[in-house]
Structure 1
């Protein structure tokens, strides 16, 4: 009886403890050291978990050559790269980003993405983005460190 009570108390104590937030500086360092370039994009129009279309292949060169820089202060810079889509557009645009949910998600470009991978060379995201005025689609994007 004592063993059962002890096991019960220990189980309740173990499972009721809240987990401390993760402060993984390696993810921050991986993201904020160097620059990134989009190297893959898949789309799931039906939002059923099957990313059926390689939308990266359809992107124009002026989007594929953009360079993304994430600063440790939460700001980000998107550089149009060598080829601008619109000649009168600015060369760079500054935005913001932030981690959430113990660094498993990132808010970037107005979208809250699930981080699928973040290493020193690869950054993969999955999220639901606006498709047009009334629709959304699920996208999976991969960035590679330059």
Structure 2
């Protein structure tokens, strides 16, 4: 019952609710914080623990294929979201890049990528933490993703 996080990442690189107050003039614009950077997953947890092959798993990142861990997400200022397979591709026939649209909701606490939406927990110049809920066999599992800037 493995969830394909490459597809999940493509459909929704989840995002963000900043700890900074929106009306704080020193707070960076959220579009500026998220845009034009190469984001990669650095951690994924699940709560409650998800049964996988007879074991309860909370560290979903450890279950992911290495070829999914180098995928890159880019949020363009013009509302285009770009997904890049990175250096290693799980499916050699998959395109290297794919694009769709992205946008914030009116309060900039939810990001929609294509047809998927994700709640922003934190957004800084070099870190994104988001949550999304997947219902599996009638149980709601909250996945928390942490994204960082791709190292040069």
Same fold (TM > 0.5): yes
Cα gap change, 1:119 to 1:61, in 2 (>3 Å) = same
**Unmatched segments (≥5 aa) in structure 1:** 1-20
How many Å separate the matches in 2 of 1:46 and 1:55? 9
Deviation string 1:104-136 (CA, Å, 9 cap, x unpaired) is 11112532211000110001101113658x765
How many Å separate the matches in 2 of 1:39 and 1:109? 22
User: For the Cα contact (< 8 Å) 1:130–1:136, is it kept in 2?
Assistant: yes
- The range that moved more, 123-132 or 111-120, is 123-132
For 1:70, the equivalent position in structure 2 comes to 75
Secondary structure of 2:29's partner?
helix
Secondary structure of 1:62's partner?
helix
Cα gap change, 1:80 to 1:130, in 2 (>3 Å) = farther
Under a length normalisation based on structure 1, what TM-score does the superposition of the two structures give? 0.72
Under a length normalisation based on structure 2, what TM-score does the superposition of the two structures give? 0.69
Structure with greater strand share of residues: 2
Deviation string 1:33-72 (CA, Å, 9 cap, x unpaired) is 321001110112479xxxx601001111110000110011
How many Å separate the matches in 1 of 2:83 and 2:123? 19
User: For the Cα contact (< 8 Å) 2:133–2:141, is it kept in 1?
Assistant: yes
Secondary structure of 1:117's partner?
strand
How many Å separate the matches in 1 of 2:126 and 2:146? 11
Q: Which has the higher contact order (CA 8 A, sep 6+)?
A: 2
Spell out the pairing of 1:5-24 with structure 2 (5 A cutoff). none
**Unmatched segments (≥5 aa) in structure 2:** 1-21, 51-56
Following TM superposition, by how much is the alpha carbon of 1:137 offset from its aligned partner in structure 2, in angstroms? 2.8
For 2:5, the equivalent position in structure 1 comes to none
Instruction: Mark the structure with the bigger radius of gyration.
Output: 1
How many Å separate the matches in 2 of 1:68 and 1:124? 14
Q: CA RMSD in A?
A: 2.5
How many residue pairs match? The answer is 120
Structure 1 residue ranges (4+ consecutive) displaced by more than 4 angstroms after TM superposition:
none
For 1:61, the equivalent position in structure 2 comes to 66
